[in-house]
Amino acid sequence: MRLQFVNRFTAFIFSAICLMANGTETTLFVGNSYLYYNDSVHNHVEDLLREFYEDNDIHTELIAIGGSRLHHHSIEQILNYQIFGLDEPVDRIIFQGGSSEVKTPKNREMLARTSQEYSQKAQEMGIETYLYMTHPYQKSDHRYEENLIEKIKLAYYQAGKKSNSIVIPVGLAFEIAYEKNPSIRLHLPDGTHPNMLGTYLASSTVFATLTGASPEGLEYDYMGRVNDNDKAFLQKVAWLAYLQNEKNLKSE
């Protein structure tokens, strides 16, 4: 376990250095509607990174299937960089599993196996791999259950170990935000999809994990759709989630 953590930490350091050294690197997001709602997490991450590094050449891409689990995606398509008009493979891939993939041991094992298989194939091509930890449901979704975050953490930390991938703690960020400000709304009324603030929080958490830096102080607000107070709060929460995630990984 310790060797796997060291490998993930080394990959993270390498990723951050590469982003600083070469803004033309490409990050590919793979998932479902959790990613593409509200003009898509990948677009917001791109803008946050561009502001942070002062580099407009930073590039992101997205492959998403609504309602999908990770194994519904074709790894051959994911790794086919030419479909994006690229001349070489992407530099990092962020895999997101289905929201209900965490609920049973059987589903968690499927997520771990798929993460391992897909990440190994990507890593053999020199691509860094990450896992996007999903957020829990709210009560308006029929799949809601108390303390689902514990199953989510179990699923993604297990998959992260098996696949030697870095976990992006979006689910932790949602839990921290609701704990610190119970009146905030990060979900749409359906209780599953993120609203604009939820997407901004998720994007800020991805940013923190990719860079190892706090998003606090960044000006990006999606053309004014995120007000200053919400922006400051969500940026702070994203960093707290990143720090908590680092502690969790070290204790594994």
Residues 20-63: tens digit of each pLDDT: 444 478 999 999 999 999 999 999 999 999 999 999 889 999 99
Q: How far apart are CA 46 and CA 53, in angstroms?
A: 11
Length of the chain in residues, anyone? 252
**CATH number of the domain located at residue range(s) 2-251 in this protein:** 3.40.50.1110
| Amino acid type, 219 | E
Minimum mean pLDDT among 15-19, 47-51, 221-225: which range?
Answer: 15-19
Return the biggest CA–CA distance within the chain: 47
> Tokens at residue 228, please?
């200053």
- The pLDDT > 90 percentage for the chain reads 87
The owner of tokens 């993930």 is 8
Residue 106 corresponds to which amino acid?
K
Kind of pairing between the strands at 128-132 and 166-168: parallel
Question: What pLDDT is recorded for position 251?
Answer: 78
Ranges of each domain in the chain = 2-251
Average per-residue pLDDT for the chain:
92
Structure confidence at residue 249 as a pLDDT band (50, 70, 90): confident
Spatial distance between the Cα atoms of 72 and 110, rounded to a whole number of angstroms: 11
Q: Is the pLDDT of residue 119 over 70?
A: yes
Mean pLDDT (whole number) for 7-14:
47
**What integer pLDDT is reported at residue 69 of this predicted model?**
97
d(C-alpha 99, C-alpha 44), whole Å: 21
**Residue 19: what pLDDT?**
53
Q: Which residue has the higher pLDDT, 177 or 23?
A: 177
